[in-house]
C-alpha cells in the first residue's frame, strides 16, 4: 500500500518532470497534434469516433456532427474546449459525455484534444 | 431571425428534456407518445416489425440475420429448456404445476404486478420461485438453464401479443414511474441514458453499431448473441451490458431497478408479438 503510494507519487513527479522538460517544449506542433489525435481516437480515452466522423478515423459513428472546418465553426478555441469539457452546459440533454466534468480525460489531455480538433 | 432560431432551439431543448420530468402523463399516454415517436421516425417499418430490433431498421444486416434465423442457433437451447420444463422436481411437481397459466404460452403477460405482495414479477423470477417453493435450489439469473427455460416458454408463446397491465394501484404506478425514470436518466461516467441511445438517437450509429429502437426491445428475449456471448442470455444480462458500456455499475439481475425498467420497457411494447428467443450478431 505504502509502496504503491510512493511509487505513484514518484511517477507523478516523473510525469511533471517530463512535461516541464525541454524535450516537450521542443516537441513539434505536429507531435502534439498527433498525440491529440491518438487521445481522440483511442477507444478507452476520447473515443470521439464513436459519435463523430473525423478525417483519418475508421468506423466512425454519426450521433454527433462530423468534425470538419472547426476553425470556421469555433473561431474561439475556448468555446471548443468548453464543449468538450462539459457538453451539458450548452445542451443539458446532449448525448456527448462531459469529458472534463466526469474526469474522462485530464485537463492536459483535453488541451491536446482541443488543439487537434481545432486543427481539423 | 436570431430570435426565431433561439426560440426554435429552446423548444427543441425543452422537448428533449420533457420526458424526463413529465410525471403527470398516464402510462397509456406515455405509450401512445412512445409508439408515435418511432412510427414517425421510421415510417417504412411495418408496425409489428419493431419486434426484430436493429434488423427492423437496417436492411443490410437484415438479410444476414434472416439467413441466421433459418437454422436458428437457439434450437438446442429451446429443446433443453423443454426438457428442463418437463422434468419433475424431487417432490414430483413440475413447472407447469406452479407457473401462472401452466407456463406454456404465457410469455406475453410478464412482468406483471402482484397485488398481494405489491411487487413486479418477472418470468425468470417466477421460474425460480417455482423451484424454491418446491425445495429446489434457485438458478443463476443471466444465462444457462434459466435462459433455456425462459426461451422455451417464449417459444411456446410466439405470436401472442404483449399485454402488460398497470393496474390502478399506487404501488404498480410507482414502479412504472421508477422504470421510466431509469430509462430517461443519464448514468455512468459517460453520462448516457437508455433514451439517449435507443430513443433520441435510435437509427444512428455508435461506431459501426446501429442503435435499435426501444419499441419492441423486450419481445425477442432471451437472445443468443453470436459474437459477444456465443450463448443465450436474459434481458437483464443485456441491460447490465449496456450499463457497463457507459461505465455505470450494472444493477443486479432481477433487482428492483431492472425489474422496474423491464416493467416500463415491456409496457411500451404492448400489442407487439412475442418472438423470443432470437439470434443477434
Does B95 reside within a domain?
yes
> Considering its fold, how many domains does chain A have in total?
1
Residue A66 belongs to some domain of the structure: yes
Structural domain includes residue B161: no
CATH of the domain at A103: 1.10.760.10
How many beta-carbon contacts under 8 Å exist across A and B?
Answer: 43
B176 in the same domain as B63:
yes
Q: Which of B9, B13, B197, B207 to mutate to test the interface with A (most CBs of A within 10 A)?
A: B207
Range of the domain at B121: 75-155
Whether residue B266 sits in one domain with residue B190: yes
Same-domain status, B99 and B194: no
| Residue B220 shares a structural domain with residue B119 | no
- A13 lies in a domain? no
**Based on the structure, what is the number of domains in chain B?**
2
Is B136 inside any structural domain? yes
> Is there a domain that residue B125 lies in?
yes
CA atoms of B224 and B122, how far apart (whole Å): 20
In a domain? residue A21: no
> Is B160 within the bounds of a domain?
no
Residues B125 and B33 placed together within one structural domain of the fold: no
Residue A14 confidence (pLDDT): 42
Residue B101 and residue B145 in one domain: yes
Task: Decide if B13 touches A, using CB distance below 8 A.
Answer: yes
Pair (B136, B261) in one structural domain: no
The residue segments making up the domain with residue A92 are: 28-119
> Greater confidence, B40 or A9?
B40
| Domain presence at residue B7 | yes
Quick one: average pLDDT of B246-266?
Answer: 97
Among B100, B133, B155, the domain boundary falls at B155
B204 at the A interface (CB within 8 A)? yes
User: What is the 3-state secondary structure of A49-109?
Assistant: HHCCCCCCCCCCCCCCCCCCCHHHHCCCHHHHHHHHHCCCCCCCCCCCCCCCCCCCCCHHH
CB contacts of A103 in chain B (<8 Å) are: 189
Taking CA–CA distances from B196, the nearest residue in chain A reads: A95
Grid cell, residue B148, equals 433455456
ipTM higher than the 0.95 cut: no
Q: Are B148 and B84 in contact (CB under 8 A)?
A: yes
The shortest C-alpha distance from B22 to chain A (Å) reads 15
pLDDT tens-digit map of B139-181: 999 999 999 999 999 999 999 999 999 999 999 999 999 999 9
Together in a domain, B27 and B109: no
pLDDT at B12 over 80: no
What pLDDT, on the 0 to 100 scale, is given for residue B24?
A: 72
Among residues B161, B167, B153, B157, the alpha carbon closest in space to that of B114 is found at B167
Residue A44 confidence class, pLDDT cut points 50, 70, 90: very high
Residue A10 has what pLDDT?
42
Contact B17/A at CB under 8 A? yes
Instruction: Examine the pLDDT at A11 and tell me if it is beyond 60.
Output: no
Residue A18 has pLDDT above 60, yes or no: no
Q: How confident is the model at residue B57 (pLDDT cuts 50, 70, 90)?
A: very high
* Residue B112 reports pLDDT greater than 80: yes
What's the pLDDT at B23? 54
Amino acid at each position: 500500500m505504502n509502496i504503491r503510494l510512493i511509487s505513484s507519487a514518484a511517477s507523478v513527479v516523473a510525469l511533471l518532470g517530463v512535461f516541464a522538460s525541454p524535450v516537450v517544449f521542443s516537441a513539434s506542433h505536429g507531435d502534439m497534434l498527433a498525440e491529440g489525435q491518438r487521445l481522440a481516437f483511442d477507444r478507452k480515452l476520447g473515443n470521439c469516433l464513436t459519435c463523430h466522423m473525423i478525417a483519418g478515423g475508421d468506423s466512425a459513428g454519426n450521433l454527433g456532427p462530423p468534425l470538419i472546418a472547426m476553425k470556421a465553426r469555433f473561431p474561439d478555441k475556448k468555446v471548443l474546449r468548453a464543449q468538450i469539457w462539459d457538453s451539458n452546459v450548452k445542451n443539458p440533454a446532449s448525448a456527448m459525455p462531459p469529458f472534463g466534468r466526469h474526469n474522462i480525460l485530464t485537463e492536459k489531455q483535453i488541451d491536446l484534444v482541443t488543439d487537434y480538433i481545432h486543427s481539423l | 431571425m436570431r430570435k426565431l432560431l433561439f426560440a426554435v432551439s429552446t423548444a427543441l431543448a425543452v422537448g428533449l428534456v420533457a420526458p424526463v420530468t413529465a410525471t403527470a402523463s398516464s402510462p397509456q399516454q406515455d405509450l401512445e407518445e412512445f409508439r408515435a415517436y418511432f412510427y414517425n421516425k421510421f415510417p417504412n417499418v411495418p408496425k409489428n416489425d419493431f419486434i426484430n430490433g436493429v434488423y427492423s431498421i437496417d436492411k443490410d444486416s437484415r438479410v444476414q440475420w434472416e439467413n441466421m434465423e433459418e437454422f436458428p442457433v437457439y434450437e438446442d437451447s429451446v429443446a433443453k429448456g423443454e426438457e428442463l420444463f418437463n422434468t419433475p422436481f424431487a417432490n414430483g411437481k413440475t413447472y407447469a404445476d406452479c407457473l401462472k397459466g401452466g407456463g406454456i404460452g404465457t410469455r406475453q403477460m410478464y412482468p406483471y404486478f402482484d397485488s398481494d405482495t405489491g411487487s413486479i414479477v418477472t418470468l425468470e423470477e417466477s421460474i425460480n420461485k417455482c423451484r424454491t417453493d418446491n425445495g429446489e435450489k434457485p438458478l443463476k439469473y443471466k444465462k444457462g438453464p434459466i435462459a433455456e427455460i425462459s426461451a422455451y416458454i417464449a417459444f411456446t408463446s410466439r405470436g401472442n401479443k404483449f399485454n402488460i397491465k398497470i393496474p390502478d394501484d399506487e404501488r404498480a404506478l410507482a414502479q412504472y414511474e421508477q422504470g421510466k425514470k431509469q430509462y430517461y436518466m443519464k448514468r455512468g461516467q459517460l453520462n448516457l441514458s437508455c433514451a439517449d441511445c435507443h430513443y433520441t438517437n435510435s437509427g444512428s450509429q455508435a461506431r459501426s453499431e446501429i442503435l435499435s429502437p426501444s419499441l419492441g426491445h423486450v419481445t425477442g428475449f432471451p437472445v443468443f448473441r453470436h459474437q459477444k456471448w456465443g450463448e443465450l442470455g436474459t434481458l437483464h444480462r443485456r441491460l447490465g451490458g449496456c450499463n457497463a458500456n457507459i461505465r455505470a455499475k450494472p444493477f443486479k439481475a432481477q433487482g428492483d431497478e431492472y425489474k422496474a425498467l423491464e416493467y416500463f420497457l415491456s409496457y411500451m411494447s404492448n400489442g407487439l408479438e412475442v418472438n423470443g428467443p432470437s439470434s443477434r450478431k
